[in-house]
């Protein structure tokens, strides 16, 4: 799908992977809606990018996400959704305080998995109304899973479950939406330089980077954004989860 002139919705677009994606697609001529809870960062980024707008969005609230979708369709036919909104939590199943807090597990699934599903279904409905291009394509949806979906570490039960759900959602969604010319793909990033990791001490970051076979460093958000671009532009990418991890395979801890 051609990116120039398309309306694009990026959830979690105010920082990290989402911000890098918003910047790249805007530079390619897309009209980008930055959907995020962080109003200050989102507004600042929207002012920086030509043709971009910020919409304060809670991905766990259907009405809030519908507002973001409507904002995108007002800019033009919604061609691309990139789901980057998510939270990372660490909690063991059993600790000195007791069993894993149930509310923490529910919140993680609500944001990472249910939030992804809400945006996917609402964006797909809007995309289905588009006129198809020469290949019969009407839209592209890119979700964000994680290598934790496949090699969850100790303390990642909630996060891994949520991201595993995102990865499992891809194929049935792609199969169902194929009749409308809408593709669905997920990216499973490894260890990336994002706000979730920047709070760690430098030695901890260096240790994480050493676990990556090659390149032996943390991933850069721009590399995630480059893969989003390729997915959008390559019509044969559909119904799969692509690992973006430098051959990393996470150990148990």
Active site members: 159
Tell which residue, 59, 66, 76, 68, has the closest CA to residue 3.
76
CA neighbours within 13 Å on the CB side: how many for 28? 21
Q: How many helices (H) and strands (E) does the chain have?
A: 9, 9
Exposed, middle or buried by CB within 10 Å (0-12, 13-18, 19+), for 28?
middle
Give the β-pairing of 7-11 and 31-36.
parallel
18 phi, psi to nearest 5 deg: -65, -45
CA distance 75 to 6: 8
CA dist., res. 68 & res. 34, Å (int): 8
| 176 Cβ neighbours under 8 A, 6+ residues apart | none
Q: Are strands 139-144 and 241-244 parallel, antiparallel or unpaired?
A: unpaired
| Nearest of 102, 107, 114 to residue 61 by alpha carbon | 114
In order of 6, 38, 152, 218, the CA distances from 193 in angstroms are 28, 19, 19, 6
Do 130 and 138 touch, CB atoms closer than 8 A? yes
């Amino acid at each position: 799908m051609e990116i120039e002139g398309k309306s694009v919705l990026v959830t979690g677009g105010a920082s990290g992977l989402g911000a890098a994606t918003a910047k790249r697609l805007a530079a390619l001529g897309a009209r980008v809606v930055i959907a995020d809870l962080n109003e200050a960062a989102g507004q600042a980024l929207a002012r920086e990018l030509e043709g971009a707008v910020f919409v304060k969005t809670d991905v766990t609230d259907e009405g809030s996400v519908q507002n973001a979708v409507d904002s995108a369709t007002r800019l033009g036919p919604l061609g691309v959704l990139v789901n980057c909104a998510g939270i990372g939590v660490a909690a063991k199943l059993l600790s000195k305080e007791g069993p894993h807090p149930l509310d923490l597990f529910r919140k993680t699934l609500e944001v990472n998995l249910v939030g992804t599903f809400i945006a996917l279904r609402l964006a797909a409905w809007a995309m289905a109304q588009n006129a198809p291009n020469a290949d019969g394509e009407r839209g592209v949806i890119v979700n964000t899973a994680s290598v934790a979906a496949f090699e969850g570490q100790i303390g990642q039960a909630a996060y891994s479950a949520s991201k595993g759900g995102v990865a499992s959602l891809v194929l049935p969604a792609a199969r169902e939406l194929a009749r409308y010319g809408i593709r669905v793909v997920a990216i499973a990033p490894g260890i990336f330089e994002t706000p979730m990791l920047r709070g760690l001490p430098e030695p901890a970051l260096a240790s994480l980077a050493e676990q990556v076979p090659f390149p032996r460093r943390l991933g850069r958000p721009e590399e995630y954004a480059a893969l989003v671009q390729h997915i959008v532009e390559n019509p044969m990418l559909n119904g799969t989860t692509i690992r973006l991890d430098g051959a990393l395979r996470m150990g148990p801890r």
